[in-house]
Structure 1
Amino acid sequence: MRKLMLAVGGSLFLVAPVSQADVVGLGASVSYWDSDLSGQAATNNDVVDVENDLNLDSDANANASLYLEHPVPLLPNVRLNYTLVEQSGRGDVGLTGFDGVTGDVQSDLDLEQLDLTLYYEVLDNWVNLDLGLTARDLTGDLIVRQANGLATSETSIDGVIPMGYLAARFDLPLTGVSVGAEGNFISFDGDSLHDFNAYGQYEISLIQFRAGYRQMSIDYEDGNDRLDVEIGGPFVSAGVSF
């Protein structure tokens, strides 16, 4: 399945025209994402609702990105993006329980992903359009502990996943204001991952400020473990570009 997913994602490069920056460009940004979580986790044929049963709530979400654009023909531009989502909560899985854990529980969910994106600039004026391919290194761990400490369950996913990449931005001339959206996506054989955001941006000199909304959906199976969750909420970011 993974080979077919890679082939599907890689086909984006066959249709992307070669268009590069006129000069070398470098940029970086950091952001805070205030997200809510919903969905289910499953292990060993047991299923739990992460919102209603576990009462998971956001502890910390962080995001950082770095990109390099260059004028070298045929070679793609490069973007690195790191996202960390941490959720915890006290809940109740009842007498039927989840994976051997029953009653009151303390739960922690950690999702970590590192993206390497290779992309081409298809348009680069007041309308900007980028197309490319992302390799996402995704790890996720859900720990559910019985309140009395007698039983613990762990649900884990781990994989490197190819995804399509699309980014568009529209600049309002002479204002420093722009609006845009970007996303990664893949869907195949029951697994799917989607990660989109839409934003407004204000740029002054080398500094960029963004505010928008990000929605991430993960439906991924790794052996006997599966995460089927959605994470969404507003974000703010600050960055520099040279």
Structure 2
Amino acid sequence: MRKLMLAVGGSLILVAPMSQADVVGLGASVSYWDSDLSGKAATNNDVVDVENDLNLDNDTNANASLYVEHPVPVLPNVRLNYTLVQQSGQGELGADFGDITTVGTGVNVRSELDLEQVDFTFYYEVLDNWVNLDLGVTARDLNGELLIQEQGGANRVNRTEVDAVIPMGYLAARFDLPLTGLSVGAEGNLISYDGDSLHDFNAFGQFEIALVQLRAGYRQMSIDYEDGDDRLDVEIGGPFVSAGVTF
């Protein structure tokens, strides 16, 4: 079931003067994110701790982005970002969860968590000099599934799923250190509405030489989202490194 949250804070009204690029600019990057997971998942009134009960460990992280900037007034610049987090583990349920019943004793389970999101961000350059500031909105296509499978016995399976297209506010700031190729910055997406909330922030240091752009920093993503009877309330955070090219 897709649930569209239709609130974006008034701070995202882009009334400041916009700075347009002088020429068309392109950029792309890939990154490695060494993330840890914590939080809970729920189906109906059953709750499981994804870290302590399921022992989920980081297996796969895929992150890539692409952006296009242009000199056309009024029209926003566009950024596309893809994130995939896959974790698996073996743990023990101490209480019933969905179709898996414990009958007063613990049940050994194997679990897999897949979180996939595609961000389409439309933004304007408010400042474009040694201080860079972008403001915009992001449409995030979020798909998440937690599969818990009983080991032995009836071999029962339970799935907790969220599937939504969510509008979020977007903000990015970068401060260039003159004549060094070095800069520091931060960027993020955020929304909170009717008990659901999502945020995705990162802070970084960057070194740029010729067309190559290298970054290192810390990223934290929080998802507290309900879709029907299913709910994910998890945090994913850790350091990242990325390499990209700009034209």
Q: Structure 1-normalised TM-score?
A: 0.95
Q: Per-residue CA shift, 1:27-47, capped at 9, x if unaligned?
A: 000001000000000002100
Please give the alpha-carbon distance, in whole angstroms, between the structure 2 residues aligned to 1:6 and 1:223: 17
Aligned residues: 239
Residue 83 (1) aligns with residue 83 (2): yes
Moved over 6 A (4+): none
Please give the alpha-carbon distance, in whole angstroms, between the structure 2 residues aligned to 1:104 and 1:55: 11
Q: For residue 22 of structure 2, what is the amino acid of its counterpart?
A: D
Aligned residue among 174, 180, 194 for 1:175: 180
Please give the alpha-carbon distance, in whole angstroms, between the structure 2 residues aligned to 1:9 and 1:116: 18
Residue 184 (1) aligns with residue 162 (2): no
Question: Offset at 1:99?
Answer: 1.4
2:31 alignment counterpart: 31
Q: Structure 1 residues 229, 16: closer, same or farther in 2, change over 3 A?
A: farther
Q: Structure 1 residues 140, 215: closer, same or farther in 2, change over 3 A?
A: same
Please give the alpha-carbon distance, in whole angstroms, between the structure 2 residues aligned to 1:29 and 1:169: 17
Contact residue 9 and residue 133 of structure 1 kept, 8 A: no
1:204 alignment counterpart: 209
> Which structure 2 residue ranges, 5 or more long, are not aligned?
none
Q: For residue 30 of structure 1, what is the amino acid of its counterpart?
A: V
2:96 alignment counterpart: 97
Q: How does 1:106-125 map to 2 (within 5 A)?
A: 106-125=110-129
Q: Structure 1 residues 56, 81: closer, same or farther in 2, change over 3 A?
A: same
Q: Per-residue CA shift, 1:168-220, capped at 9, x if unaligned?
A: 00000110000000000000110000000000001010000100000000000
Question: Offset at 1:6?
Answer: 2.9
1:236 alignment counterpart: 241
Please give the alpha-carbon distance, in whole angstroms, between the structure 1 residues aligned to 2:10 and 2:225: 20
Contact residue 141 and residue 154 of structure 1 kept, 8 A: yes
Q: How does 1:7-86 map to 2 (within 5 A)?
A: 7-8=7-8, 12-86=12-86
Q: Structure 1 residues 213, 179: closer, same or farther in 2, change over 3 A?
A: same
Question: Offset at 1:7?
Answer: 4.5
Q: For residue 218 of structure 2, what is the amino acid of its counterpart?
A: Y
Q: For residue 219 of structure 2, what is the amino acid of its counterpart?
A: R
Q: Structure 1 residues 69, 62: closer, same or farther in 2, change over 3 A?
A: same
Q: For residue 195 of structure 1, what is the amino acid of its counterpart?
A: D
Question: Offset at 1:9?
Answer: 5.1
Question: Offset at 1:14?
Answer: 4.1
Residue 155 (1) aligns with residue 160 (2): yes
Question: Offset at 1:22?
Answer: 1.1
The RMSD of aligned alpha carbons is 1.4
Which segment is superposed worse, 116-125 or 16-25? 16-25
Please give the alpha-carbon distance, in whole angstroms, between the structure 1 residues aligned to 2:229 and 2:6: 23
Please give the alpha-carbon distance, in whole angstroms, between the structure 2 residues aligned to 1:167 and 1:8: 16
Please give the alpha-carbon distance, in whole angstroms, between the structure 2 residues aligned to 1:235 and 1:17: 33
1:143 alignment counterpart: 147
Residue 222 (1) aligns with residue 213 (2): no
Residue 6 (1) aligns with residue 6 (2): yes
Of Structure 1 and Structure 2, the greater helix share is in: 1
